[in-house]
Structure 1
């Protein structure tokens, strides 16, 4: 029984899986943050262009 517990404590497969899961989660958060920021910037840019085009069309 003692050998089984020691072997379980030395095994690192589960630890690696958890680390990969955390890494994937952090990458996903980074991608979501970047996409949100980029989407906001692009939306702002298109709104500026639309405003200028409306000003040209009215004149």
Structure 2
């Protein structure tokens, strides 16, 4: 029984996958928190609108 418990404690398979999953979760949470604030959302919207207008103006002969 103690041998089985030691093997279970020493087993490190799947640890990297768990760490990557936690990192992805934290990054996703950070992005969601940043995008949920109205100021950042409106600033990004105006930047993309400006880029779109510039591209349309450059494409018009």
Output the TM-score relative to the length of structure 1. Answer: 0.48
Greater Rg over alpha carbons, structure: 1
Higher relative contact order (CA 8 A, sep 6+): 2
Output the TM-score relative to the length of structure 2. Answer: 0.47
